[in-house]
Amino acid sequence: MNIIMLGAPGTGKGTIAGILSGELGIPQISTGDIFRKNIKEGTELGKLADSYISKGQLVPDDVTIKIVEDRLNQPDAKNGVILDGFPRTVVQADKLKEILANKGEKVDITINLVTPEEELIERIVNRRVCSNQECKAVYNLVLHPPKVEGKCDKCGSELITRKDDNVETVKSRLEQYFTATSPLVEYYEKEGVLYTETVSQSINKLGEVVAKEILEHLKEI
């Protein structure tokens, strides 16, 4: 099964995708994680990606598409994937459709996560992530704080703030999202594979609750 996670930064795509990955036994592929790993390691890709990400801009389509295509051809992706952070533009969506068609596959469901904008900003600036790239656990100082301040519950590694998790950059990222990525909602609605879930503290529906509802829905597909 090939699943796409849509939603503005801070909606919980990574958290929910991680839960789905564990339950369904298919890999979660996060373009953001791939870029951040390369930035940390100082690779040429990392330097290129950082020149855009640090300003709250999207990495160009041609760079992102090539990375995702290579990742989809790895052995662990043969039974399906959960794409988190890709596609982000209609151009990327068209290319993904082509890549999957060449493998005799398709997008089975696109999960669109919706959260009020003011809640997104508060959530992102309070986000902390595990510095261990193999763990990638995500915390929130208000909604889901670690048991020990500054330490990951799962592996004990140091928790860090992503360089782009600040108010100015977040606002830029949200603007980019609503301009470039929102049209994907209409795109996948026309494809007949869109499924929308609201993720909000105001209605007491956050990561685990939403993931459970999505898993129940997937049984009907």
Residue 110 has φ and ψ, to the nearest 5°, of -115, 115
- Is the peptide bond preceding residue 75 cis, with omega within 30 degrees of 0? no
Angle ∠(136,206,181) on CA atoms, nearest 5: 75
Summarize the confidence of residues 150-170 as an average pLDDT. 91
Active-site entry in 13, 36, 123, 128: 13
pLDDT at position 187 is: 96
Domain 3-116+167-218: assigned CATH number: 3.40.50.300
Which of 22, 19, 21, 10 is closest to 32 using CA atoms?
Answer: 10
Mapped onto helix, strand or coil, the DSSP state of residue 94 is: helix
Angle ∠(64,92,73) on CA atoms, nearest 5: 60
Active-site entry in 36, 123, 127, 128: 127
13 is catalytic: yes
pTM of the model: 0.76
71 is catalytic: no
162 is catalytic: yes
173 is catalytic: yes
Active-site entry in 37, 97, 162, 205: 162
pLDDT digits (tens, 9 = 90+) for 49-92: 888 888 878 788 888 888 888 889 889 999 999 999 899 889 99
If residue 24 lies in a helix (H) or strand (E), which one and from where to where? Answer: helix 13-24
Q: Let me know: does 155 contact 135? Beta carbons within 8 Å.
A: yes
pLDDT digits (tens, 9 = 90+) for 163-208: 888 888 888 888 888 887 789 999 999 999 999 999 998 888 888 8
123 is catalytic: no
